[in-house]
Amino acid sequence: MKENILLSLANEFGTPLVVVDHDIIRQNYLEFKKHLPKVQAYYAVKANPEPEIVNTLFKIGSSFDVASMPEFNLVYENIKDFPEKERQNFIWDKIIYANPIKPKKTLQLLDKYKPLVTFDNKVELHKIKKYAPNAGVVLRLRVPNTGSMVELSSKFGCDAAQAVDLILEAFNIGLVVEGISFHVGSQCANFENYIQAINIAYAVMKESEERGYKIRILDIGGGFPAPYDRHVRPFSELAYMINVEIERLFPNDIQIIAEPGRFLVATAATSISRIIGKTVRDGKICYYIDDSVYHTFSGIIFDHCRYTLKAMKEGKTEICAVFGKTCDGLDTISLAEELPDLELDDFVYSENIGAYSTASATYFNGFPPAKIVHINV
């Protein structure tokens, strides 16, 4: 995003500020569809639950992956003007509740919508049967997460050796296993994870069919890496590998879905902060900004991300430290940032901050999260 636009918005709305460019969201979605044309994208709402983002993706054909009732309701609000029958068809085709563990109350609320819900163990399966018997179920497998920025396999997914027994039990108690899903871990840099996971899923689906139950949906999850820097391999390379493996293993009538979150929104947002303090500590210049790791930069803590700060002024740069505005020593944004000499009220900005940032912002120390401005909506 051009600095003059950012500067104008910062002066108009104040800081801290997050600018979300919906043209970039649309471009990212179209890139996903271009390289994976047979895969329906279910946007992982948790990556950034701004209603405006949900609206933009809904309008261009996205489906949605939700993990809580508030996320479900956020998506449902986009179709509240549809006739009841169309709303029901939408939920079946457009929403998957992909959190493998769900409270009983959530299942009770979901049941009337007859949604797709995931599970990965026997207790959850019987809970679904009791409280959401009209749901279609999707079995989540445990797959390798090696090389991913955020590992998920230690928390979710059943072992392949247990999978078919769980599928048979689901059918035996009167539920229908509609699909098999997996997740290779967030920001997956090791593309082989996808190949291994697809092969694991194929083996489970093949054995299930041999034992009398054909499964029609393969959910390849999320983890598609956002291009944070030049070291991230191109998405087109990953998509080619996925397409080749799916074509090799599966019949044409298999329905393939995926749950991209970060890939669709990470590059669409830029944060703008103001210098509110400056000092020298141990010979290094230290800047304090009016945002923090408890706010827009929460991805540093929760998402293992590192965000590069840039200045809106030129000059010789030097290594410096940048801290957030809270009183907590943990609130360290960078100890090795390269910036020109800055003064109070100068602006800095950070690109590619659209995923898992404002989504996990808090009101720590009484400071509210940054204001969010949407452009090109």
- Residue pLDDT, tens place only, 256-293: 999 999 999 999 999 999 999 999 999 999 999 999 99
Nearest of 269, 342, 249, 252 to residue 52 by alpha carbon: 269
Give the model confidence (pLDDT) of 49-78 as tens digits.
Answer: 999 999 999 999 999 999 999 999 999 887
Out of 3.40.710.10, 2.40.37.10, 3.30.565.10, 3.20.20.220, the CATH code matching 3-18+266-375 is 2.40.37.10
Q: What gap in Å lies between CA 49 and CA 205, rounded to an integer?
A: 33
Residue 89 has pLDDT above 70, yes or no: no
Is residue 358 over pLDDT 90?
yes
The ranges of the chain annotated as CATH 3.20.20.10 are 23-265
Binned at pLDDT 50, 70 and 90, residue 190 comes out as: confident
Q: In CATH, what number does 23-265 get?
A: 3.20.20.10
Task: Quote the percentage of the chain above a pLDDT of 90.
Answer: 86
Mean pLDDT of 162-190: 95
Question: In the chain, where does the domain assigned CATH 2.40.37.10 lie?
Answer: 3-18+266-375
Told to judge if 327 belongs to the known catalytic residues of this protein, a careful annotator would answer yes
